[in-house]
Structure 1
Amino acid sequence: MATDQHSSLTRRIVTGMVTGILVGAFLQWLMPNGSDLVIPLYLFDFSVRAFFVDGVFEVIGQIFISSLQMLVVPLVFVSLICGTCSLRDTTKLGKIGGKAVGLYLITTAIAISFAMTLAMIVSPGEGVNMTAETTFTSKEAPSLATVLIDMFPSNPFTAFAQGNMLQVIVFALLFGIAMALSGKAGERIASIFQDMNEVIMRLVTILMNVAPYGVFCLLAGLFTDLSIETFGNLIVYFLVVFFALIIHAFITYPVLLKVFTGLNPVTFLKKMRDTAIFAFSTSSSNATIPVTMETTTKKMGVNNSIASFTVPLGATINMDGTAIMQGVATVFIAQVFSQDLTLADYLTVILTATLASIGTAGVPGVGLIMLAMVLEQVGLPVEGIALIIGVDRLLDMTRTAVNVTGDSMVTVIVGKSEDQFDTDTFNDPEAGRNIENIDFHHLKD
């Protein structure tokens, strides 16, 4: 019965996604180029765009996104405190953090290196001879010193209110360590946080059950205004980035998982389905944190003491999907403007993008800011970013799905290496499924 229930939830989410795309495409056909369809009724004129696109789809979709974002800060804070105070040796945090950051940087370097190699082979910008009609003005990215200073909150409540994940992570780590060192008092508070963690995870389950409707509205609204004509001459660039993202998700991650853990990559990818759909629909690694946390702990068997640290950290600094976009975009823009890049330039791009994945953590519009930094490092015109903005929305959805897959993969590797991992849970196809469906008619057993 559990299998049927889980299949039903997964099927409903996929159905919501596909139906939303089809409905959006149909409305795009009815209302091309942002036009409206007005149906005269007896008492008033009915606007299809105002009622559906700007009304129902927008309201439900944004409520769904806000509901996910609502849980991010309390989930990360409570889970990380529970994980930290449960560690018998708090010095392990440095070891766990070093492994996680190292793996995230390695996968980012692999991603951008592969993407640039693929772009040079395909040459998406050769012979295009395009010029930027608009310019892109990049925000100044903070220095590494500024990022390190800003990791420590002067006011933790401000960090909570602003959703500054690095500051929330640091404060939660310090609070958890203090609890672990406080004896009986710390144990009493820890039991409260453990109960809070259970309640928050149940909230995640509730959201998963209403997810099909949120996913439908988000994609229906997006595809109503997204025409295939947007791609134009950039279709080759789009396909190269998309192909690189797929290869990274289905080959790079499974190979690394197999090499470092010996686990079955197919099982891993199957258990990532729902989380990837959430990420694709929301285009936000942060908004997907609650679902990623539930997947890595309940379905894959990673101990909360590991997942509560590596998942929010990955959502903040893991930029594999963005790195792939940067690699292809750099080669594409260089070819469009007929500028040759040397081997030193390519190495500079790889190094800059890899380090910038941490250096620009938490900055709004991080993908375009990082790309502007990369282009400036090798002397390419920053206004070239204007050429790819039009097709970046769909790619952003895909690379977010790739990013959360990378977050989960690193979490499993770190958990396995620290003996904080249940292999039986990972291999059990039923793991975590019994909590995914809620009987709202019978709230108490």
Structure 2
Amino acid sequence: MTETTPPQQPTTAKLGLTAKIFIGMVAGILIGTLLQLSFDDSGDLVFSVFGMQLSMHQLFVEGLFNVGGEIFVASLKMLVVPLVFVSLVCGTASLSDPSKLGRLGGKSIVLYIGTTAVAISSAMFFALLISPGEGLNLIAEHAYEAKQAPSLGQVIINMMPTNPINAMAEGNMLQIIVFSVFFGIAMSMCGEAGKRLTSVFDDLSVVVMKLVTILMNLAPYGVFVLMAKLFSTIGFETITSLVKYFSVVFCVLLIHGLIAYPIILKLLSGLSPKLLLFKMRDAALFAFSTSSSSATLPITMETATKKLGVKPSVASFTIPLGSTINMDGTAIMQGVATVFIAQVYAVDLAFSDYMMVILTATLASVGTAGVPGVGLIMLAMVLTQVGLPVEGIGLILGVDRLLDMTRTAVNVTGDCMVACIVAKSEGELDEDVYQDSAAGKEEESLGTIRN
């Protein structure tokens, strides 16, 4: 009797998460652009929906895309506070050597501030070389009202939470980090009670990361509506008038993310920069679409631990800290914008002024929250330090949204780069996971519907 093998089911190729996000992004850009082209001065197409007369702009841009995009970003932000608190408590409580926490903090802060100084220095160098503001007589459409930026001393004072619950409600990341570290240290010193509580937090960490996985599978749809809304409202005439400024900032961001980071990683850790950039693609696309380091934090943490092999004890500290104080992309914008505004207003800055810009912007990054557009507030402080008109910010407002997306992608890449360097120096990096180009792939497939 001969055995018959059952016919094999045909296998269909599955698109990875990165491909799905990219498709959603491109589709959103195309749809948004087509919608904007369909608008005219007399009004756009009108639809009748449930007896209501709605224009195409109201139906799609203000309705579907706005609501969908806001819900997607809110769902990401929903996880930020519990993720940071739970993971940081778990990581701190697991440290057997208390001095290790000091080493982690010292190395992370030095690397973050150092890369920020490099970022703004290179930005000002290229801006002075190319001179994007020479001969450009632009008039700001509206003055920018600067908010009062806190001093460095006040930033340090504000790091200590007076009410941890209130800090969590407001999303004050520095205060959450400080409280979480203290809470984790106290747990590690409480013997059996601390061990029981640690097991609870370990289980909470598993649940939170499962939520992250679920949201990752919804990302392509969220990215689609965010891109569609943005490109249906952005003014293309504004971009063309500021194309030189836009190009300088964009190119310096690419140079910093694709050249400076790989060099720093290779010199300080010996790890492969190519693998880092390859595995950062999901987090970078998330950051690009949300323009928020804080909103992207769950995805950045997932990338660092599951794909790059950074142990949770290191990732839970360096990644949240980086989303708060690592603002290399913002520093690049501030450097180019300062030179650009000075050239537009024909103000000659001395060498000491440029040094002041580097120092101010580097220190200001410590107090910069990882939310969209906050870089403009810090830019106002930088301009004031060197006597440039704050109203000049109005010149670049039109294109800042697109640049904000790019610089956020650079920021999260820097967060993971520093996490890898610190983890490697502390012996907390799983190099087998780092070297495995397929690491984390199984996480992407969870929650998806199989044929």
Instruction: Tell me the TM-score normalised to structure 1 length.
Output: 0.95
> Which residue number corresponds to residue 170 of structure 1?
178
Q: How does 1:134-145 map to 2 (within 5 A)?
A: 134-145=142-153
Q: Counterpart of 1:226 in structure 2: which amino acid?
A: I
- Call closer, same or farther: CA 1:91–1:44 in 2, change over 3 Å: closer
Structure 1 Cα separation of the partners of residues 51 and 182 of structure 2: 63
Unaligned runs of 5+ in 2: 1-11
1:380 aligns with 2:388: yes
- Residue 4 of structure 1 and its aligned partner are, at CA, apart by 5.9
Structure 2 residue matching 1:263: 3-state secondary structure: coil
- Residue 130 of structure 1 and its aligned partner are, at CA, apart by 2.6
- Call closer, same or farther: CA 1:82–1:95 in 2, change over 3 Å: same
Structure 2 residue matching 1:436: 3-state secondary structure: helix
1:291 aligns with 2:299: yes
* Contact 2:44/2:55 (<8 A) preserved: yes
Structure 2 Cα separation of the partners of residues 285 and 359 of structure 1: 14
> Which residue number corresponds to residue 75 of structure 1?
83
One of 194, 198, 203 as aligned partner of 1:190: 198
Q: How does 1:262-411 map to 2 (within 5 A)?
A: 262-361=270-369, 365-411=373-419
Q: How does 1:201-220 map to 2 (within 5 A)?
A: 201-220=209-228
- Residue 259 of structure 1 and its aligned partner are, at CA, apart by 0.5
Structure 2 Cα separation of the partners of residues 412 and 34 of structure 1: 55
* Contact 2:373/2:404 (<8 A) preserved: no
Larger deviation, residues 87-96 vs 250-259: 87-96
One of 242, 256, 261 as aligned partner of 1:248: 256
1:110-156, CA deviations, whole angstroms, 9 ceiling, x for partnerless residues? 11111111011111110112343532221111122221121111111
> Which residue number corresponds to residue 33 of structure 2?
25
Alignment RMSD (CA, Å)? 2.1
Structure 1 residue matching 2:427: 3-state secondary structure: coil
Q: Counterpart of 1:374 in structure 2: which amino acid?
A: V
1:51-94, CA deviations, whole angstroms, 9 ceiling, x for partnerless residues? 21111111111111010000000000000001000011122111
Larger deviation, residues 31-40 vs 189-198: 31-40
Structure 2 Cα separation of the partners of residues 288 and 413 of structure 1: 21
Structure 2 Cα separation of the partners of residues 221 and 281 of structure 1: 11
- Call closer, same or farther: CA 1:303–1:342 in 2, change over 3 Å: same
1:227-249, CA deviations, whole angstroms, 9 ceiling, x for partnerless residues? 32122421100010000001100
> Which residue number corresponds to residue 8 of structure 2?
none
One of 144, 148, 164 as aligned partner of 1:156: 164
> Which residue number corresponds to residue 101 of structure 1?
109
1:190-230, CA deviations, whole angstroms, 9 ceiling, x for partnerless residues? 01100110110010000010110010011101110113212
* Contact 1:13/1:215 (<8 A) preserved: yes
- Residue 97 of structure 1 and its aligned partner are, at CA, apart by 0.6
- Call closer, same or farther: CA 1:183–1:238 in 2, change over 3 Å: same
Q: Counterpart of 2:100 in structure 1: which amino acid?
A: K
One of 268, 273, 280 as aligned partner of 1:260: 268
1:367-415, CA deviations, whole angstroms, 9 ceiling, x for partnerless residues? 1121111111111111111111111010000000000011110011111
Q: Counterpart of 2:71 in structure 1: which amino acid?
A: I
- Call closer, same or farther: CA 1:227–1:83 in 2, change over 3 Å: same
- Call closer, same or farther: CA 1:135–1:177 in 2, change over 3 Å: same
Structure 2 residue matching 1:74: 3-state secondary structure: helix
* Contact 1:257/1:409 (<8 A) preserved: yes
- Call closer, same or farther: CA 1:90–1:255 in 2, change over 3 Å: same
Structure 2 residue matching 1:231: 3-state secondary structure: helix
* Contact 1:34/1:225 (<8 A) preserved: no
- Call closer, same or farther: CA 1:42–1:73 in 2, change over 3 Å: closer
- Residue 33 of structure 1 and its aligned partner are, at CA, apart by 6.8
Structure 1 Cα separation of the partners of residues 179 and 49 of structure 2: 58
Structure 1 Cα separation of the partners of residues 370 and 419 of structure 2: 20
Instruction: Tell me the TM-score normalised to structure 2 length.
Output: 0.94
- Call closer, same or farther: CA 1:35–1:313 in 2, change over 3 Å: farther
Indicate the percent of aligned positions where both proteins have the same amino acid.
61
1:55 aligns with 2:63: yes
- Residue 22 of structure 1 and its aligned partner are, at CA, apart by 0.5
Structure 2 residue matching 1:134: 3-state secondary structure: coil
Q: Counterpart of 1:429 in structure 2: which amino acid?
A: S
1:435 aligns with 2:443: yes
- Residue 433 of structure 1 and its aligned partner are, at CA, apart by 1.2
Structure 2 Cα separation of the partners of residues 396 and 308 of structure 1: 25
1:309-365, CA deviations, whole angstroms, 9 ceiling, x for partnerless residues? 111111111110000001100110110011111111111111111111114457985
> Which residue number corresponds to residue 8 of structure 1?
16
Q: Counterpart of 2:78 in structure 1: which amino acid?
A: M
Task: Give the aligned length.
Answer: 441
- Call closer, same or farther: CA 1:35–1:154 in 2, change over 3 Å: farther
Q: Counterpart of 1:28 in structure 2: which amino acid?
A: Q
Larger deviation, residues 183-192 vs 136-145: 136-145
Structure 1 residue matching 2:343: 3-state secondary structure: helix
* Contact 1:164/1:362 (<8 A) preserved: no
Structure 2 Cα separation of the partners of residues 304 and 42 of structure 1: 51
